[in-house]
Structure 1
Amino acid sequence: MIFDSALNALRSLLHTGMRATFWKSLGLTILALIGAWFAISSGFTELALPWVSDFFQLDFELPKWTGWISFFALMMAGFGLAAALAFLIGPVSALIAGIFLDDAAQALEETYYPDDPPGKAMPIGEGIWLAIKFTGVVILGNLLALVLLLVPGINLIAFFVINGYLLGREFFEFASRRFGPDDYARRLRAKHGMTIFGAGLVIAAFMAVPILNILTPLFGAALMVHLHKAIAARDINRAASVA
Structure 2
Amino acid sequence: MIAGALRQAVVQLPDASFRQVLVRSLLISIAVFALLAAALWLGLMLIPDGGHTWIDWLVGFASGIGFFVLMLLLFPAVMTAAIGLFLDDIADAVERRWYPQEAPGRALALWPALWGSLRFLGVVLLVNLLLLPVYAILLFFPPLLYGLSLLVNGWLVSREYFEQIAWRYMSHVEATQMRRRYRGDLWLCGVVIVLLLTIPLVNFLVPIVATAFMVHVYKRLRARG
Shorter-chain-normalised TM-score: which range? 0.7 to 0.9
Give 1:55's aligned residue: 52
Residue equivalent to 1:188: 178
Aligned residue number for residue 9 of structure 2: 9
- Code of the residue aligned with 2:22 in structure 1: it is F
Could you tell me how far apart the structure 1 residues matched to 2:133 and 2:96 are?
42
Letter of the structure 1 residue corresponding to residue 10 of structure 2: L
Stretch of structure 1 that moved more, 123-132 or 184-193: 184-193
Change (3 A) 1:34 1:221: same
Q: CA deviation at 1:178?
A: 0.6
Structure 2 counterpart of 1:41:
41
Pairs aligned (count): 221
Q: CA deviation at 1:126?
A: 1.6
* TM-score for both structures, normalised by structure 2: 0.78
Q: CA deviation at 1:55?
A: 2.5
Distance 2:172 2:188 in 1: 21
Greater shift after overlay, 86-95 or 102-111?
A: 86-95
Q: Is the 8 A contact 2:22 2:204 kept in 1?
A: no
Q: Which amino acid aligns with 1:109?
A: E
- Secondary structure of the structure 2 residue equivalent to 1:51: coil
Asked if the contact 1:25/1:96 (under 8 Å) is kept, the reply is yes
The 3-state SS of whatever aligns with 2:4 is: helix
Which stretch shifts more, 16-25 or 204-213? Answer: 204-213
Aligned residue for 1:104?
Answer: 90
Task: From the superposition, tell whether residues 158 and 31 of structure 1 become closer, same or farther in structure 2 (CA, over 3 Å).
Answer: closer
Change (3 A) 1:111 1:156: same
Shift of 1:195: 1.5
**8 Å CA contact 2:49, 2:56 repeated in 1:** no
In structure 2, relative to structure 1, the CA distance for the partners of 1:71 and 1:159 (3 Å cut) is closer
Q: 1:226 aligns with which of 201, 213, 216?
A: 216
Q: Which structure is higher in RCO with an 8 Å CA cutoff and minimum separation 6?
A: 2
- Whole-Å separation in 1 of the counterparts to 2:164 and 2:158: 10
Superposed counterparts of 1:126-205, under 5 Å: 126-143=112-129, 145-149=131-135, 150=137, 155-205=145-195
Shift of 1:12: 3.8
Deviation at 1:21, TM superposition (A): 1.3
Deviation string, structure 1 residues 144-168 (Cα, Å, up to 9, x no partner) = 5544433679644432332222221
Q: 1:47 to 1:84 in 2, by over 3 A?
A: farther
- Give the distance between the partners of 2:60 and 2:176, measured in 1 at CA: 50
CA 6–77 in structure 1, closer or farther in 2 if over 3 Å, else same? same
Distance in 2 (CA, whole Å) between partners of 1:95 and 1:215 is 14
Alpha-carbon offset, residue 173 of structure 1: 1.4
Kindly provide the amino acid, as one letter, of the partner of residue 194 in structure 2. Answer: A
Distance verdict in 2 for CA 1:222–1:142, change over 3 Å: farther
Q: Counterpart of 1:23?
A: 23
In structure 2, the gaps of 5 or more residues are none
Q: Percent identity?
A: 29
Q: Which moved more, 1:184-193 or 1:142-151?
A: 142-151
TM-score (norm 1): 0.73
